[in-house]
Chains A and B, each alone.
Chain A
Amino acid sequence: MRFALRRLGFYALAAWAALTLNFVLPRMLPGDPASAMVARFQGKLEPEALDAMRRAFGFTDASLVEQYLTYLRHLFSGDLGLSIAYFPAPVSDVIGTGLIWTLLIAGVSLVIAFVLGTLLGIVAAWRRGGLLDSALPPALAFLGAFPYFWLAMLLLYLFGYELGWFPMRHAHAAHLSPTLSVEFIGDVAWHAILPVTSIVLASLGGWMLSMRNVMVAELGEDYIQLARAKGLDSRRVMLRYAARNALLPNVTGFGMALGFVLGGSLLTEIVFSYPGQGYLLIQAVRNQDYALMQGIFLMITLAVLVANFLVDLLVLWLDPRTR
């Protein structure tokens, strides 16, 4: 319990640091939001209208310290402010439309890649030098070297456009409205196959390699020899003895990976017109929409911190020595 509390304190500190960075980084971008706004009016806005709009958007000349304090105060009252790119929609509404889809794509891909990669790693280490062990790691490392979005474009072109096996865009078909029906859920899964596959392919190699390497080291330990000598069932030795201990680095990596997958899925989403956060972030950066950028970063930060905290608890359970 004390350990968990200490970790919680640490996460609070990390959250504060992230929130502060969150505030500082967008403001270090060159240019200013007021002029970025004009981009959408290319030659169609009267100069006189601009000043009034600037005031309406709430661009202030307040000092950074003041802005920072206001930012923190609003944050604690759950107010993320108004988006400039989607004015006058509140940032929470803008993010809300896509958050569930991003979490779905990123979460499902992460879990599949983790489970599949770990299992492959276990088998590869167990049958060291076998076909799986010699062929798969290089192939996956090769795939993993591609950026997510590049694989996504390749899959989209091959299986969506040329072969027409899978839908090319969106999270569900246009004629279906979001309900909890089997048909709708099936359709969502059908639409998620290509985007999820592209992320899984790109991230599988990392999980498999790290699992395999730790597992190989673990298999050389004395207690494994002992277990085998005792005549234990080989599957039991593989999974309960070696794999359980070899799993720890991968589990720790899980929390970290969430951040990467969330970041990578943003680009995948754009390729598949998936209605998540990806394009929102681009819009926010293009329009210097500080409030929206802060909102999206906040979501990603919180997701990563929560995932890491859960992972800490999981490690605690897996490995009593950490207590």
Chain B
Amino acid sequence: MLTVSVEQQAAWIRNFNPFAAGGARWPTQGGIYEPLMIFNSMTGAWVPWLATGYTWGQDNRTLTLSIRDGVKFSDGQPMTASDVVFSFQLRRRFAALDQGAVWRFLDPDAGVERVGAREVRFTFARPYAPGLAAIAHSVIVPEHIWRHIADPVRFTNDNPVATGPFTEVLRFENQLFELGPNPHYWQKGKPAISALRMPAFPSNDQANMALVTGEVDWAGNFVPAVERTFVSRDPAHHGYWFPLTGSTVFLYANTTREPFDDPRVRRALSMAIDRQRLVDIAMYTYTRPADGTGLSQAYDRWRDPSAVAAGRQWMRHDVAAANALLDRAGFAVGQGGMRRTPGGSPWESTIYVVSGWSDWIRAAQVISRDLRAIGLDAKVRVFDFSPWFDKLQTGAFDLAVGWSNEGPTPYAFYRWLMSTRTVKPLGEASLGNWHRYGSADADALLDAFEATTDHDAQRRLVGQLQQLFVRDVPAIPLFPNPNWGLFSTARISGFPTADDPYATLSPNKLPEALLVMTRLVPTGSAGSSGESK
């Protein structure tokens, strides 16, 4: 029995619909149902799963996946290429199911078809290499069940039939539910653990208390002072691993507003911030300052050292250089060291953060203090999430602390940060690019990236994107977010650690957590010690 703490809810609502928009219980999207392939963010490789491999066709307009033989759904029926085709066509018929938005790049007519017994071919409307990730991470549902569901968008799927390691709902009560193993799981002898147990914890405090007292085996919540509060309680069994592979946190400056449209000003803001102090105060030293590319550790393989070196010029904490930049930009120093804009009015601004997000609020307070050193009077304003997000999305802000995009490649990350295609007019809600920065150069590089599947070419393009980012400073990187992962080996062993980084430890990261779920074994059983490959 593996007790997991992932979702924070006071009571469980039964929902195992893998297409449900954020409402399905963990691990519906990677544990109950499974994707075609899993991106391992630690190795940077695609792990074959329900598909055994993929090949790109001519001009990268088609992608063919080979479907694994011998996979069965939990009701004993075989999973075939038809189920794969059906799962994608379902997303087409009901657009609300298409969270990965695969039908925005697939050809509307020939999009997905079965070729041969075990192959499925995807035809793209245009060459689109990032489409691999969206397709590979789409989960597969059984056609013989979902064919009969009249409204799959509103279907709660109380008793899932799926290919994953845990499919049987043993208990479902409002404060606890348990999932038993799939009797027909395709990986022989797995899962080695008898069941998953999910107790409901409404808050981080409650989850942490259960973690500290040893009731939880695997958790993905934030724990303050983890060595003292958690590890020291049972050093032989308690462990954690917080790799910096989460999304990078940025200080966004609205580039549609003066003077933040001036890259010199954005550089000056960046140099004014003492990032080391910021992560020490705001993040309990769990992270480190970002570099000028903004890339988190998840993209280490893509990082261009020359871009990092160039970025150091405005990422270092250098108040004197920041002041010199502002002097040149025409900001006169007035009374008490505070500056005036080139237009002559006092230079004032506001940093928007979300109430209750205490780490970011502290970060904003540190930034606000640091900015005074360069003569900018930036006040911190706290909003509830919804109004904060509304202002961010519609571009009604000066400065704001916010997250950035995550994905297998830095493509989406930079698309959000600097593509003209993600810039929406002021007043219109935008899911990304809140600072509204568009660069035609970036568009050209992103287009070239979409068109090539050659890894070296992609790396070159991402390198150029980094150079471009470092040159123009569209947004100000602060620090990469850690992916929280904690475990206790008192009952269950085989968790990934910094010494054995076979996958991300955090259970929050689906479907990657599938790689962990299928490796875990009861402590003391054969294979629980030493090499458990």
Contact = CB atoms under 8 A, between A and B. Distances in A.
A280 interface: yes
Interface residues of A, number: 59
Contacts of A278: 10, 202
A154 to B, nearest CB: 13
A88 B155 contact: yes
A184 to B, nearest CB: 12
B98 interface: yes
Interface string A281-292: 001001010000
A170 B202 contact: no
Interface in A269-286: 269-270, 273-276, 278-280, 283, 286
Contacts of A273: 10, 175, 200-203, 206
Interface string B130-172: 0000100000000000000000011110000000000000010
B390 A32 contact: yes
B20 A49 contact: no
A85 B20 CA distance: 11
Interface stretch (B302-310, B319-327, B399-407, B464-472): B399-407
Interface of A: 29-32, 34-53, 55-57, 82, 85-89, 93-94, 97-98, 101, 161, 168-172, 174, 177-178, 269-270, 273-276, 278-280, 283, 286, 288
Contact of A31 (B94, B100, B206, B386): B386
Interface stretch (B11-19, B333-341, B453-461): B11-19
28 contacts: A32-B390, A35-B389, A37-B21, A38-B389, A42-B403, A43-B405, A43-B416, A46-B99, A46-B100, A46-B104, A49-B100, A55-B95, A56-B94, A56-B154, A86-B15, A87-B22, A88-B20, A88-B23, A97-B12, A97-B174, A98-B11, A169-B206, A169-B210, A270-B202, A273-B206, A276-B10, A280-B10, A286-B384
Contacts of A32: 386, 390
Nearest to B405: A43
A275 B201 contact: no
Interface string B23-54: 10000000000000000000000000000000
Interface core residue of B154, B156, B174 (most chain A CB under 10 Å): B174
Chain B interface residue number, banded: 35 or more
Contact of A270 (B203, B389, B403): B203
A32 B15 CA distance: 24
Contact of B101 (A38, A49, A269): A49
A48 B247 CA distance: 21
B386 A288 contact: yes
Contacts of A42: 247, 403
Contacts of A177: 171, 173
Contact of B17 (A34, A53, A55, A88): A88
Q: Which 7 A-B pairs give the minimum distances between C-beta atoms?
A: A31-B386, A279-B10, A56-B96, A52-B95, A46-B101, A40-B22, A30-B387
Interface in B344-401: 383-390, 393
B199 to A, nearest CB: 6
B9 interface: yes
A80 to B, nearest CB: 14
Contact of B403 (A43, A97, A275): A43
B11 A279 contact: yes
Contacts of B101: 46-49
A21 to B, nearest CB: 20
A41 B100 CA distance: 11
B432 interface: yes
Nearest to B389: A35
Nearest to B383: A30
Contacts of A29: 386
B104 A48 contact: yes
Given A35-B393, A88-B20, A288-B386, 17 more contacts: A30-B383, A30-B387, A36-B385, A41-B22, A42-B403, A47-B101, A49-B95, A89-B13, A89-B156, A98-B10, A161-B209, A169-B209, A172-B175, A177-B171, A269-B202, A270-B202, A278-B10
A86 to B, nearest CB: 5
Contacts of A51: 95
Contacts of A82: 154
A31 B390 contact: yes
B196 to A, nearest CB: 13
B23 A270 contact: no
Contact of A87 (B20, B99, B430): B20
A82 B247 CA distance: 32
B406 A30 contact: no
Contact of B22 (A35, A37, A56, A288): A37
A49 B153 CA distance: 13
Nearest to A54: B96
Contacts of B404: 43
A178 B403 CA distance: 42
Contacts of A288: 386
A43 to B, nearest CB: 5
A267 B197 CA distance: 26
B97 to A, nearest CB: 8
A52 B96 contact: yes
Interface string B484-510: 000000000000000000000000000
A88 B200 contact: no
Contacts of A286: 384-386
Contacts of B153: 56, 88
B482 to A, nearest CB: 15
Contact of B21 (A53, A97, A275, A279): A53
Contacts of B200: 170, 273, 275
Contacts of B99: 45-46, 49, 53
Nearest to A93: B13
Contacts of B416: 43
A251 B432 CA distance: 56
Nearest to B210: A169
B386 A275 contact: no
Contacts of A174: 175-176, 197, 199
A52 B10 contact: no
B429 interface: yes
A41 to B, nearest CB: 6
